[in-house]
Homo-oligomer: A and B are copies of this chain.
Amino acid sequence: MARVVVDVMPKAEILDPQGQAIVGALGRLGFSGIVDVRQGKRFELEVDDSVDDADLERIAEELLANTVIENFAVTRVPDAQGARS
């Protein structure tokens, strides 16, 4: 069993209105110094050892990301890591 993280972010040339809304909200809340925010998605997968890197790449490309407007990165992580703790 392995844990895999797939990060999906809007491409640099794609407008990100959610991120811009956050920048605006931070200013109104009194946080200064935040120049840019972009919002994407993070997927944490638990996979069998039968799932290889090529499978993971296909899963990310075909199902998790829209590669027209998004980039993705697939990372295998040690079990302890991640925001889930």
Contact = CB atoms under 8 A, between A and B. Distances in A.
Contact of A37 (B7, B9, B45): B45
A26 B84 contact: no
Interface in A1-52: 1, 7-9, 11-12, 19, 22, 25-26, 29, 31-48, 50-51
A73 interface: yes
A79 interface: no
**From A8, A11, A19, A45, residue with most partner B Cβ within 10 Å:** A45
Interface of A: 1, 7-9, 11-12, 19, 22, 25-26, 29, 31-48, 50-51, 55, 58-59, 62-64, 71-73, 82-85
